[in-house]
Structure 1
Amino acid sequence: MKKLFVILSLLLAGCHAEASGGSFPVRLNSIGFLPGTSKKATIIQKCSGFELKRATDDEKVFSGEVTGPFHQEDVNQDAWVADFSAFADTGSYYLEVPGVGRSVTFRISDDVFRFPYVTTMRAFYLWRCGTAVEGDFNGQHFAHAACHLDDGYCDYLDGKGVIRKGTKGWHDAGDYGKYTVNAGITMGTLFLAWEQFRPTLEKATLGLPETAPGFPEYLEELKWETDWLLTMQYPDGSGRVSHKLTRTNFAGFVRPEDDKGKRYFTEWSSTATADFVAAMAMAARNFQPYDAAYAKTCLDAAEKSYAFLKKHPEMKPFEQGDFTTGAYKGKSDKDERLWAAVELWETTGNKNYLEDFEKSAPSFTPRIDSDWDWQNVKNLAMFTYALSKREGRNPKLAATIQQAILANADLLVEKGKQDIYGRPLGSRYYWGCNGTVARQAVNLQVANAISPNRAYTNTVVSIVDHLLGRNVYDRSYITGLGYQPPMHPHDRNSGSDNIEQPWPGYLVGGGRTATDWQDKQSDYTTNEIAINWQAALVYALAGLVDQH
Structure 2
Amino acid sequence: MIAKVVRWALASSGLLVGPLQPARAQPPPAAIHLNQVGFYPAAPKVAIVPGAAASPFYLLAPGSTKPVFTGELGAARYDSLARQTVRAADFSACRARGTFVVSVPGVGVSYSFQIAPRVHAAVARAVLKGFYYQRASTALPPAYAGAWSRPAGHPDTQVLVHPSAATAHRPAGTVLASPRGWYDAGDYNKYVVNSGSTLGTLLALYEDFPAYCAQLTTTIPESTNAVPDVLDEALWNLRWLLTMQDPADGGVYHKLTNASFDGMVMPAACHTQRYVVQKSTAATLDFAAVLAQASRVFRPFGRALPGLADSCLHASTQAWGWARQHPASYYRQNELNKQFQPAISTGAYGDEDVRDEWAWAATELYVTTKDEQYWQASDLLAAGPLPVASWSQVRPLAYYTLLRLGPTLTAAGRRALPQVQQKVRALADGLRAGYATRACGTAMGHAATDYGWGSNAEAANQGIALLQAYRLNGEQPYLLAALTNLDYLLGRNATGYCFVTGSGHHSPQHPHHRPSEADGVPAP
Alpha-carbon deviation of 1:170? 0.5
Say whether 1:386 aligns with 2:403.
yes
How far 1:211 moved relative to its partner? 8.2
Cα distance, 1:56 vs structure 2: 6.0
Measure how far apart 1:408 and its partner are.
1.9
Choose the corresponding residue for 2:498, options 450, 469, 476. 476
Q: CA offset at residue 99 of structure 1?
A: 3.4
| Structure 2 partner of 1:365 | 384
Q: In 1, distance between residues paired with 2:299 and 2:396? A: 25
Change (3 A) 1:144 1:415: farther
Cα shift readout 1:149-174 (whole Å, capped 9, x = no counterpart): 23421243343443211000000121
Asked if the contact 1:342/1:354 (under 8 Å) is kept, the reply is: yes
**Counterpart contact for 1:33–1:109, Cα < 8 Å:** yes
Instruction: Show structure 2 runs of 5+ residues with no match.
Output: 1-17, 338-342
Residue 5 (structure 2) aligns with: none
Letter in 1 for 2:317: E
The residue correspondences of 1:104-503 to structure 2 (distance < 5 A) are: 104-135=111-142, 141-151=147-157, 152-156=159-163, 157=166, 158-210=170-222, 213-236=225-248, 238-291=249-302, 292-312=306-326, 314-320=327-333, 321=337, 322-357=343-378, 360-366=379-385, 368-370=386-388, 372-388=389-405, 389-391=407-409, 392-395=411-414, 397-421=416-440, 422-428=442-448, 429-502=451-524
Q: Give the total of aligned pairs.
A: 484
CA distance in 2, matches of 1:153, 1:192: 33
Alpha-carbon offset, residue 395 of structure 1: 4.9
Letter of the 1:39 counterpart: K
Q: After the TM superposition, which residues 30-109 of structure 1 pair with which residues of structure 2 at under 5 Å, given as runs?
A: 30-44=36-50, 45-55=52-62, 57-109=64-116
Structure 1 unaligned segments of length 5 or more: list them. 1-5, 503-548
2:42 alignment partner AA: G
Match of 1:509 in 2: none
The offset of 1:80, in angstroms, is 1.1
Partners of 1:133 and 1:144 within 8 A in 2: yes
Deviations 1:221-277 (A, max 9, x none): 0001000000000131x1100000011111111111111001011110000000000
Query: Residues of 1 paired with 2:323 and 2:282: CA distance?
Result: 10
Distance 1:68-1:145 versus aligned 2 partners, 3 A rule: same
CA-CA distance at 1:106 after TM superposition = 0.5
Q: Tell which deviates more after alignment, 51-60 or 92-101.
A: 51-60
Q: Deviations over 1:200-228 (max 9, x none)?
A: 12112110102894211110000010000
Question: Bigger CA drift: 99-108 or 157-166?
Answer: 157-166
TM-score normalised by L of structure 2: 0.88
SS state at 2:381 partner: helix
Instruction: Return the letter of the residue paired with 1:229.
Output: L
- Within 2, Cα distance between the matches of 1:260 and 1:415? 52
Shift of 1:425: 3.6
Native 8 Å contact 1:330 1:375 kept in 2: yes
Instruction: Describe the SS at the equivalent of 1:445.
Output: helix
Tell me the TM-score normalised to structure 1 length: 0.84
Task: Classify the secondary structure of the residue corresponding to 1:363.
Answer: coil
Matches of 1:159 and 1:42 in 2, distance apart? 60
Of stretches 264-273 and 319-328 in structure 1, the one that deviates more from structure 2 is 319-328
- Report the AA paired with residue 106 of structure 1: F
Cα RMSD, aligned residues only: 2.2
Runs of at least 4 residues of structure 1 off by over 6 A?
none
The answer to whether the 8 Å contact 1:47/1:97 transfers is no
Supply the distance in 1 between the matched residues of 2:420 and 2:177 (Cα, whole angstroms). 41
Residue 418 of structure 1 deviates from its aligned partner by: 3.3
